[in-house]
Amino acid sequence: MTRQWRAQSGGFTLLEVVLVVGLLAVISALAMPVLFSRIKERHLVTSCRQFASLVSLTRAHAQLDGRRYRIRFLDEEEAEELEIKDVRQPVIEREGDRFENEDEEAGEWYPVKAAWAYGETLLGDVWCAEVRLGKPTIEDLQDRRDRIEELQDALEQTFKDIDPIRPPLVIEPDATSDWATFVFTEAPRDLDLDELEDEIRIEVIIEGLTGLAWLQRPFYDEELDLFEEKNWPAVLRQDLLISRVLTEEDVLELHERRIQRVAFDGSKPAAKP
């Protein structure tokens, strides 16, 4: 009796196997788009954080060496000339010093070949679409949305020797620099600035004097109007990645959290928003 029962229940039928495999295929088909979306989202945020860390590391080396460094992104043509395979990655360069190296010329820039300057900073399809130098202001951000094509033409006429859309960030020997906003996205690389307005982007904002860096999605028009009405600067000095529109209460709460964090860290509080 026992031997007969084992023979009857020793495996699955072909129909049962087909049903299980079909069910797994349906579940995978439903879950994979969500999974890939989460992975891409994680790529963008992680890439931005890694880039902010690279900027901090570059500032530290500039101060340690007493030399000017710069961070920039290459176009396709220049990357091919320099035999750089991944054109999306940032390039770290140091200003030449004839006294330290007779093969260098003052005023010229040379790639940093140290291990810390290399690596996959930007993951997946993430790339830098734009670099804006100078402290962000409400007026500039509002005008920018209304005249992106005009601004792009003006930049191309002003800057002849560098990429007008992605100028380099120069870091001085005392580790200070200009303010800078680096705009990262996973959108197709052939899009113009005006076409990127509808794409997901994250901005890495660098405060020039202190080197403080934070991640921020682009402000909405309603938020810019609020900041203008309250006479608040267009900088939060902390991460802003939530998609919903900020209210006045949200901004005040963010400011209060920053004050508490600064007080806990024992550093000087920043300007009130």
Condensed to tens digits (0 to 9), the pLDDT of residues 108-162 reads 999 998 999 988 999 999 999 999 999 999 988 887 766 666 665 655 555 555 6
List the chain residues with pLDDT less than 50.
1, 5-7, 32-39, 269-273
Domains of the chain (ranges plus CATH)? Answer: 12-265 (3.55.40.10)
Rounded to whole angstroms, the Cα distance separating 269 from 184 reads: 28
pLDDT of residue 159: 52
pLDDT of residue 90: 95
pLDDT of residue 128: 96
pLDDT of residue 213: 96
pLDDT of residue 15: 74
